[in-house]
Amino acid sequence: MNYIGSKHRLSSFIQDTIHSVCGQDLSDLVFCDLFAGTGTVGRVFKSQVKAIIANDLEFYSYVLNRNYIGNYKSFEYNDLIENLHSLPLQKGFIAAQYGEGGVGNRLYFSKHNAQKIDSIRTEVERWYRNKAISTDVYYFLLASLLESADKIANTASVYGSYLKTIKPRAAKSMVITPATFEITNTAHQVFQEDGNELITKISGDILYIDPPYNVRQYGANYHILNTIAKYNIFAPRGKTGLPIYNKSAYCSKKTVVSSFEQLIKNAQFKYIFVSYSNEGLMSPSVIKKVMKQYGRYDVKTTSYKRFRADKTASRHHKASSTIEYLHILEKQ
Ligand SMILES: C[S@@+](CC[C@H](N)C(=O)[O-])C[C@H]1O[C@@H](n2cnc3c(N)ncnc32)[C@H](O)[C@@H]1O
């Protein structure tokens, strides 16, 4: 998934740095990805560590991580996916509010795909309620639907707006691609909590912190994914049909430093790694100042090509690349 702040392309840099600090063999260690997003970083370490703890504030992220990280035993799914593809189309909440020709007149999906999302989402819920599928399979199917719907969404990149006409990729019929996950010998934990609250209840060895670094709230930019995942009925607001969404303290200049400081202070982990861009709300020197109070500090950097949605003319960034920092703390 094309996600703001995704660490997909930085995963080797993060992995190499963590290995250089914590050693090559992590098999006895608990690794926490506290702002997990699409689960990219947890997925890299899932088979290398004893257990992953994955967490994010948003429900769509919980669904993705509950599948990619939380699922660790194999099951059969081909017949289920086939079954979902053969369902008749259905006019539901997505078609009405976010589909072409719906009452909401919002062009997030073609008419066909909006109805396909409604029919699949309804059937998956029915199977789960009737106990025809397990919780593991339920989240696997929801994650598969989110990933597949994201591929044919009629947007430039995020869900803050939709395009005026249906683009060629969004006109194609949605294909449900299985959201395959890695099989491991041990179980993992997945949460949907504010990271600052969860940190007071957990402990482990390696804490990876990748908070939002600017004012763009994920709950607003990915609201359609939450709506498909939750599938609750609400009164959509405004042109883009926003629900009431979570506001993160990490997206506000006023609250970000104090939240970050609390987080580092409360963390019961030996090693802490913080990903942050040089263009974030907190400067590298502020992050260093906060972290240095709690142990031995170091930092690694790499240059990184800007996220697609940040390149539009409305965002006046001069540089086409940014510097990605990985701040390191050995807590004492
Ligand atoms: C930079 S993204 C993480 C990207 C992730 N590493 C990846 O590769 O997909 C930041 C994430 O922090 C989440 N978030 C924002 N505020 C949060 C909070 N207070 N507690 C937990 N998660 C939060 C957002 O929903 C978003 O998914």
DSSP result, 293-308: TTEEEEEEEEEEEPPG
> What contacts 79, CB < 8 A, 6 or more positions away?
none
Which has the higher per-residue pLDDT, 307 or 297?
Answer: 297
Mean pLDDT across the stretch 231-246? 96
Contact in structure between 304 and 10 (CB atoms under 8 Å): yes
Mean pLDDT across the stretch 197-209? 98
Contact in structure between 284 and 304 (CB atoms under 8 Å): no
Q: Which two tokens stand for residue 252?
A: 């506000």
Could you tell me the domains of the chain? 1-72+188-212+258-331 (3.40.50.150), 75-180+215-247 (no CATH)
Q: Which of 45, 64, 48 is nearest to 56 (CA)?
A: 64
Sign for the CA dihedral angle at 217, 221, 224, 229 comes to negative
pLDDT of 305 reads: 76
* Residue 100 phi, psi dihedral angles, 5° rounding: -55, 130
| CA 56 / ligand 1 centre spacing (Å) | 6
pLDDT of 122 reads: 98
- What share of the chain has pLDDT > 70, as a percent? 95
Choose one of 1, 15, 200, 218 to mutate for the ligand 1 pocket test, by most ligand atoms within 8 angstroms of C-beta: 218
| CA 236 / ligand 1 centre spacing (Å) | 24
Mean pLDDT across the stretch 85-94? 98
> What contacts 12, CB < 8 A, 6 or more positions away?
none
pLDDT of 246 reads: 96
Distance between CA atoms of residues 301 and 77, nearest Å: 41
List Cα–Cα distances, 167 to 107, 163, 175, in angstroms: 10, 8, 17
Residue 144, pLDDT > 60, answer yes
Mean pLDDT across the stretch 6-15? 96
Residue 327, pLDDT > 60, answer yes
pLDDT of 44 reads: 98
Residue 215, pLDDT > 80, answer yes
pLDDT of 7 reads: 96
Mean pLDDT across the stretch 106-133? 98
Q: Name the pLDDT band for 314 (thresholds 50, 70, 90).
A: very low
Mean pLDDT across the stretch 75-89? 98
Residue 91, pLDDT > 70, answer yes
Across the chain, what does the average pLDDT equal? 95
Protein residue whose Cα sits closest to atom 13 of ligand 1: 35
Residue 123, pLDDT > 80, answer yes
pTM: 0.96
Residue 87, pLDDT > 80, answer yes
Q: Name the pLDDT band for 318 (thresholds 50, 70, 90).
A: low
* Residue 217 phi, psi dihedral angles, 5° rounding: -75, 130
Contact in structure between 229 and 139 (CB atoms under 8 Å): no
List Cα–Cα distances, 68 to 40, 61, 152, 204, 272, in angstroms: 9, 10, 21, 20, 23
Q: What is the pLDDT of residues 163-187, one digit of tens each?
A: 999 999 999 999 999 999 999 999 9
pLDDT of 321 reads: 79
Choose one of 3, 8, 10, 56 to mutate for the ligand 1 pocket test, by most ligand atoms within 8 angstroms of C-beta: 56
| Ligand 1, CB within 6 Å, residue ranges | 3, 5-7, 35, 37-38, 40-41, 55-58, 61, 194-195, 210-212, 218, 248-250
Distance between CA atoms of residues 89 and 97, nearest Å: 16
| Other beta carbons less than 10 A from residue 30's beta carbon | 19
Q: Which of 266, 276, 287, 284 is nearest to 331 (CA)?
A: 266
